[in-house]
A and B are shown apart, each in its own frame.
Chain A
Amino acid sequence: MAISKVILNDQTLMDVTSDTVTAATLQSGETATASSGEKITGSLIPGGGGSSDYDYHAIDITLVSTTTMAAILGQYVDTSKLVAYRIYPTEADNTSLNTFCIGYGSSAFPAVTAANGVSYPQTYTQYYVNDQTYNVFRGRGNVNNKPAGKYKLEVYGKLL
């Protein structure tokens, strides 16, 4: 069992619960103890290791409370580098249509039908700027009060 805090006679002998190190932020091959108390091995490759500000990431998230799209992106993505994102529900009983995606290139996000039966993306407008073609997909409802539930968040960008 992982131990993250040790208290003896009201004195804290060891406490890593507020440590922020993760496998992703620790240099590859190095080991440390995460805030959960579990031993982790780093996976970070100095110099980028081929990653870029525009890599594709897919994250399964469970929103605990109703929240906004801006808040979700702020929790997971470096929005100064964000190129595109798409979010859609992954459980059938989440019937809210709350999605928005911006595509970079001609096939940034393949078409997908979410668990609630809604297909994304729905529409797009194409731009051609600086030798790049941009398809701006728009298919969303109200992003202000996104309900709790399970979602897939896809990002072309840099995670925090």
Chain B
Amino acid sequence: MIYYKNLDGDYIFAVSIDHGKIPIDETEHNAIVSAVASAPTAPSGYTYKLRAADLQWELVELSSEPEPELDTEEALNILLGGAI
């Protein structure tokens, strides 16, 4: 089993198993998962991001631009190789 972390700029985006970008050891994986489990609750419209450098949480504003709902035609375009 190989653990990975994926970054989004200076923040940790996610950790995963067997597929990912940056291999990490189990200790670091467990530390990140543990941090996620104890993440503070963000106020509405915000989220906490985990800094990769020191595993400290930082409050950031969520994007206010909603992702559009896909209709069936757009979904079919994805199936046929179109952009998502």
Contacts and interface: CB of A to CB of B under 8 A. Distances in A.
Interface of A: 2, 20, 22-24, 34-36, 38, 40, 57, 59-73, 75-76, 79-80, 82-84, 100, 102, 104, 125, 127, 129, 134, 136, 138, 142-145, 148-149, 159-160
Contact of B21 (A66, A68, A104, A160): A160
A122 to B, nearest CB: 14
The list of the 8 closest CB pairs from A to B, nearest first, reads A66-B47, A61-B16, A144-B67, A136-B75, A59-B19, A60-B17, A75-B6, A65-B49
Contacts of A34: 23
B36 A69 contact: no
A65 B23 contact: no
Interface residues of B, number: 42
Secondary structure at chain B's binding surface: helix, strand, loop or mixed? Answer: mixed
* Chain A CB within 10 A, most for which of B14, B16, B20, B50: B14
A80 B77 CA distance: 12
Contacts of B67: 68-70, 143-144
Interface in B1-55: 2, 6, 8, 11-25, 32-33, 35-36, 39, 42, 47-50
Contacts of A84: 79
A2 B80 contact: no
19 contacts: A20-B21, A23-B2, A24-B19, A62-B14, A62-B16, A64-B12, A64-B13, A64-B15, A64-B49, A65-B47, A65-B50, A66-B42, A67-B8, A68-B67, A71-B8, A76-B19, A80-B81, A125-B72, A136-B72
Contacts of A148: 36, 39, 47
Interface of B: 2, 6, 8, 11-25, 32-33, 35-36, 39, 42, 47-50, 62-63, 66-67, 70, 72, 75-76, 78-81, 83-84
Given A64-B32, A65-B47, A127-B76, A70 B14 contact: no
A65 B15 CA distance: 11
Contacts of A22: 23
A127 B25 CA distance: 45
B69 to A, nearest CB: 9
